[in-house]
């Protein structure tokens, strides 16, 4: 055990986590050049395209230092707020963390939130100043920022470049010297933490674990504490780029486990694995059932594909346990599913996977958060509303609560005004303002989660000219004055376009929604009135004017190829449309309320 080091890398997005991990693997010769891909730890295609580490993995490296052989387990952490629970469990599996800070960007919101997670778990922090090769790097200033943040010595900060390889040896040495060896009792009953799992269509669910006490042996009968289920450990092993089966993995070490489980929901991140006969009495703390934060309806574009969609969703859920769904029907869209996601990124990923892996064309409705409604009949027990059209009749309502978050934004002093303005517009209440340096400010807000789901990120980027980073965590439910705003097309309510909106913003947003829909809904042979309403009261109105008969009429007859192009364009545009009553609604319209500005 004394020659094992378990560590993770924490960083703000794009500060160089994956590139640095790649370098560490290279320098420890953990990878042959044949196995090498551009970024090793990000194995899903989607991940590579988005440049975000979605699924965490663990990789073992060997390193010789002062004549002794060490095992270094690098536990990768996902880099997005949607997956912060997974980050926290990965961190709980380690004794140390490399805190990467970009020498040009300095400390950002995720640097701080990840650092807090690491400190809560008593991790030894090794600060790394990355990208010192950049002409725009500010090594002295950023080192000072890090020293201020951590209360460490400037000499503790390792200057590095994951690009040129500078500092990589120093980092490896620091991991050995500064990160404590794992502690634990090798003779106690098995106690291991599940920090991740990956679905493999051929072998079932692969569980990644860290052993704290005892050991796990091939063919041992094991128990997952939270789910209460027993399994045989069919295969265990360590992970390099490939899996290396072993007979035993002992206290302090990290490995993978295959039990033949075929459903991702049976393996819960944060669960404790123990021996089925001699279970541990000390279950690892911090387990939570992750709850979806954002909900949306997913409907097949072609109503006949409902059963196919159901089959695809079930398959997706087998390998993504955080996805939840249940059938729902909409007067406008027919049969589909109400789905719960960890956040907006997770929603986008699911939507993309449905299309790419399952070849489904779907309509996604306006995402919303989940509300608690209390009626005057029962003021104690909440009705969970994850679809705005399920809100009880206003006359029967006692109150409605919505989820709130604590938001942290780091920006330049110049942008404090506009950023505050935006947060207040989004119903935020400022709770703290700290000057990290004379140039950089951290602002803390309490605000409704629903406002983040809407266009918050884009707006923040605009008002801060890109100089703001943002992170958040949930802080519970709060009472709000919310009303349901409905949209009527051609006098028919389109239930899939309803949204719960704060009373004070309802008129403004209703008006904007109508304006936006007018832009997006294609003209047809007749006028299409678009109305926004609260109950029976119409609060805004626009009209999509009737179309002239032939789009090609504009082409002055002549050019055939141009005509054909136009017709093809028309055809393509049709693909993602949904006929509601006699009006065709394009997919963008369902998301329109998200981008009203
Ligand atoms: P996510 O996976 O999206 O969280 O990002 P990350 O933190 O893993 O960052 P990644 O390693 O993808 O690096 C982000 C960008 O910075 C890439 O374009 C890298 O090539 C670049 N980069 C990383 N390290 C260095 C460095 O030391 N110097 C320079 N010049 N560029 C670097």
Residue 562 has pLDDT above 70, yes or no: no
Q: How far is the CA of 16 from the centre of ligand 1 (A)?
A: 3
Nearest CA to ligand 1 atom 16: 16
- For the Cβ of 263 lying below 6 angstroms from any atom of ligand 1, the answer is no
Q: What is the pLDDT of residue 574?
A: 44
- Report the alpha-carbon angle 492-496-501, nearest 5: 100
Would the CA dihedral through 467, 469, 475, 476 be positive or negative?
positive
Residue of 87, 105, 162 with the most ligand 1 atoms within 8 Å of its CB, for mutation: 162
- For the Cβ of 108 lying below 6 angstroms from any atom of ligand 1, the answer is no
Which atom of ligand 1 is the closest one to the Cα of 80? 4
Q: Could you report the per-residue pLDDT of 398-452, keeping only the tens digit for each?
A: 999 999 999 999 999 999 999 999 999 999 999 999 998 888 899 999 999 998 8
Q: How far is the CA of 14 from the centre of ligand 1 (A)?
A: 5
Q: What is the pLDDT of residue 36?
A: 58
Mean of pLDDT values over 367-374: 93
Query: What is d(CA 265, CA 270) in angstroms, rounded to the nearest whole number?
Result: 13
- For the Cβ of 53 lying below 6 angstroms from any atom of ligand 1, the answer is yes
Please return the burial class of 181, using the count of CB atoms within 10 Å of its CB with bins 0-12, 13-18 and 19+.
middle
Could you list the residues known to form a binding site, using ranges: 14-19, 130-133
Q: How far is the CA of 49 from the centre of ligand 1 (A)?
A: 14
Mean of pLDDT values over 252-275: 92
Nearest CA to ligand 1 atom 3: 52
Residue 455 has pLDDT above 80, yes or no: no
Residue 287 has pLDDT above 60, yes or no: yes
Would the CA dihedral through 332, 338, 340, 345 be positive or negative?
negative
Q: How far is the CA of 13 from the centre of ligand 1 (A)?
A: 8
Q: How far is the CA of 64 from the centre of ligand 1 (A)?
A: 27
Q: What is the pLDDT of residue 573?
A: 45
Q: What is the pLDDT of residue 542?
A: 93
Would the CA dihedral through 356, 361, 367, 371 be positive or negative?
negative
Nearest CA to ligand 1 atom 13: 16
Q: What is the pLDDT of residue 55?
A: 45
Q: What is the pLDDT of residue 146?
A: 95
Mean of pLDDT values over 157-172: 96
Residue 54 has pLDDT above 50, yes or no: no
Residue 362 has pLDDT above 60, yes or no: yes
Q: What is the DSSP letter of 522?
A: P
Query: What is d(CA 137, CA 11) in angstroms, rounded to the nearest whole number?
Result: 17
| Two structure tokens written together for 445 | 């807000």
Query: What is d(CA 296, CA 497) in angstroms, rounded to the nearest whole number?
Result: 11
- For the Cβ of 139 lying below 6 angstroms from any atom of ligand 1, the answer is no
Could you list the residues known to form a binding site for GTP, using ranges: 14-19, 130-133
Which atom of ligand 1 is the closest one to the Cα of 21? 11
Band (333; pLDDT cuts 50, 70, 90): confident
Which atom of ligand 1 is the closest one to the Cα of 164? 27
Measured in whole angstroms, the distance separating CA 483 from the mean position of its chain's CA atoms is 28
Which segments of 83-220 are extended strands (E)? Answer: 96-102, 124-130, 158-159, 191-200, 204-213, 215-217
Q: How far is the CA of 200 from the centre of ligand 1 (A)?
A: 28
Band (25; pLDDT cuts 50, 70, 90): confident
Identify the top-confidence range among 39-48, 248-257, 300-309, 539-548.
248-257
Mean of pLDDT values over 508-522: 90
Q: What is the pLDDT of residue 295?
A: 93
Q: What mean pLDDT is reported for the chain?
A: 87
Q: How far is the CA of 294 from the centre of ligand 1 (A)?
A: 29
Residue of 13, 14, 104 with the most ligand 1 atoms within 8 Å of its CB, for mutation: 14
Residue 245 has pLDDT above 60, yes or no: yes
Mean of pLDDT values over 188-194: 96
Would the CA dihedral through 477, 478, 479, 482 be positive or negative?
negative
- For the Cβ of 23 lying below 6 angstroms from any atom of ligand 1, the answer is no
Q: Could you report the per-residue pLDDT of 87-125, keeping only the tens digit for each?
A: 889 999 999 999 999 999 999 988 888 898 899 899 999
Mean of pLDDT values over 578-594: 75
Q: Could you report the per-residue pLDDT of 205-244, keeping only the tens digit for each?
A: 999 999 999 999 999 999 999 999 999 999 999 988 778 9
Q: What are the two backbone dihedrals, phi and then psi, of residue 221, each rounded to the nearest 5 degrees?
A: -85, 120
Band (560; pLDDT cuts 50, 70, 90): low
End-to-end CA distance of the chain: 57
Query: What is d(CA 510, CA 482) in angstroms, rounded to the nearest whole number?
Result: 13
Give the count of alpha carbons within 13 A of 307, CB side only. Answer: 1
Q: What is the pLDDT of residue 447?
A: 95
Nearest CA to ligand 1 atom 2: 52
Which atom of ligand 1 is the closest one to the Cα of 22? 11
Reference 474, options 533, 539, 405; nearest CA is: 405
- For the Cβ of 163 lying below 6 angstroms from any atom of ligand 1, the answer is yes
Would the CA dihedral through 330, 336, 340, 343 be positive or negative?
negative
Nearest CA to ligand 1 atom 21: 16
Mean of pLDDT values over 297-313: 91
Residue 63 has pLDDT above 90, yes or no: yes
Cut 0.90: pTM above it: no
Nearest CA to ligand 1 atom 28: 131
Q: What is the pLDDT of residue 44?
A: 58
Q: Provide the percentage of residues in the chain whose pLDDT is more than 90.
A: 53
Mean of pLDDT values over 129-135: 97
- For the Cβ of 13 lying below 6 angstroms from any atom of ligand 1, the answer is yes
- For the Cβ of 131 lying below 6 angstroms from any atom of ligand 1, the answer is yes
Band (344; pLDDT cuts 50, 70, 90): confident
- For the Cβ of 89 lying below 6 angstroms from any atom of ligand 1, the answer is no
Nearest CA to ligand 1 atom 26: 131
CA-CA-CA-CA dihedral for 379, 380, 386, 387, to nearest 10: -20
Q: What is the pLDDT of residue 253?
A: 96
- For the Cβ of 54 lying below 6 angstroms from any atom of ligand 1, the answer is no
Which atom of ligand 1 is the closest one to the Cα of 47? 2
ipTM of the complex: 0.96
């Amino acid at each position: 055990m004394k020659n094992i080091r378990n560590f993770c890398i924490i960083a703000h997005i794009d500060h160089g986590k994956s590139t640095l991990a790649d370098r560490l693997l290279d320098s420890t010769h953990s990878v042959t050049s044949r196995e090498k891909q551009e970024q090793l730890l990000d194995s899903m295609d989607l991940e590579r395209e988005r440049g975000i580490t979605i699924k965490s993995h663990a990789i073992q490296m060997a390193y010789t230092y002062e004549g002794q052989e060490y095992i270094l387990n690098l536990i990768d952490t996902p880099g997005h707020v949607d997956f912060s629970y997974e980050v926290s469990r990965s961190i709980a599996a380690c004794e140390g963390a490399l805190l990467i800070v970009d020498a040009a960007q300095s400390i950002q919101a995720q640097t701080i939130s990840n650092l807090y997670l690491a400190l809560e778990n008593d991790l030894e922090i090794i600060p790394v100043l990355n990208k010192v090769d950049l002409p725009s790097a500010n090594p002295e200033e950023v080192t000072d920022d890090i020293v201020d943040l951590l209360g460490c010595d400037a000499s503790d900060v390792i200057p590095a470049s994951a690009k040129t390889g500078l500092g990589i040896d120093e980092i490896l040495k620091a991991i050995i010297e500064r990160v404590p060896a794992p502690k634990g009792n090798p003779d106690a009953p098995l106690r291991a933490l599940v920090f991740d799992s990956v679905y493999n269509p051929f072998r079932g669910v692969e569980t990644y674990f860290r052993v704290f006490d005892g050991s796990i042996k091939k063919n041992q009968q094991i128990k997952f504490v939270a789910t209460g289920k027993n399994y045989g450990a069919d295969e265990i092993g360590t992970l390099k780029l490939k899996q290396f089966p072993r007979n035993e993995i002992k206290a302090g070490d990290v490995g993978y486990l295959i039990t033949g489980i075929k459903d991702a929901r049976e393996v819960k991140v944060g669960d404790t694995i123990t021996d089925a006969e001699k279970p541990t009495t000390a279950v690892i703390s911090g387990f939570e059932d992750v709850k979806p934060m954002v909900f949306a309806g997913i409907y097949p574009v072609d109503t006949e594909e409902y059963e196919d969609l159901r089959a695809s969703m079930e398959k997706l859920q087998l390998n993504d346990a955080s996805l939840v769904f249940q059938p729902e029907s909409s007067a406008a869209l027919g049969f589909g599913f109400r789905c719960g996601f960890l956040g907006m990124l997770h929603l986008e990923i699911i939507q993309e996977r449905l299309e790419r892996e399952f070849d489904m064309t779907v309509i996604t409705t306006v995402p919303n958060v989940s509300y608690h409604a209390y009626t005057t009949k029962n003021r104690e027990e909440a009705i969970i509303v994850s679809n705005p059209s399920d809100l009880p009749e206003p006359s029967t309502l006692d109150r409605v609560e919505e989820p709130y978050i604590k938001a942290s934004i780091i920006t330049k002093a110049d942008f404090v005004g506009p950023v505050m303005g935006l947060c207040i517009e989004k119903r935020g209440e400022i709770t703290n303002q700290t000057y990290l340096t004379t140039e950089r400010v951290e602002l803390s807000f309490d605000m409704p989660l629903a406002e983040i789901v809407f266009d918050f990120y884009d707006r923040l980027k605009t008002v801060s000219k890109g100089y703001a980073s943002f992170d958040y965590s949930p802080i519970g439910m709060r009472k709000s004055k919310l009303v349901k705003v409905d949209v009527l097309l051609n006098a028919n309510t389109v239930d899939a376009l309803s949204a719960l909106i704060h009373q004070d913003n309802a008129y403004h947003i209703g008006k904007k929604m109508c304006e936006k829909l007018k832009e997006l809904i294609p003209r047809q042979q007749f006028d299409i009135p678009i109305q926004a309403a609260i109950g029976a009261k119409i609060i805004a109105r626009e009209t999509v004017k009737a179309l002239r008969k032939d789009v090609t009429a504009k082409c002055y007859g002549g050019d055939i190829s141009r005509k054909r192009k136009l017709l093809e364009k028309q055809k393509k545009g049709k693909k993602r449309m949904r006929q509601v009553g006699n009006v065709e609604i394009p997919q963008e319209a369902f998301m329109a309320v998200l981008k009203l500005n």
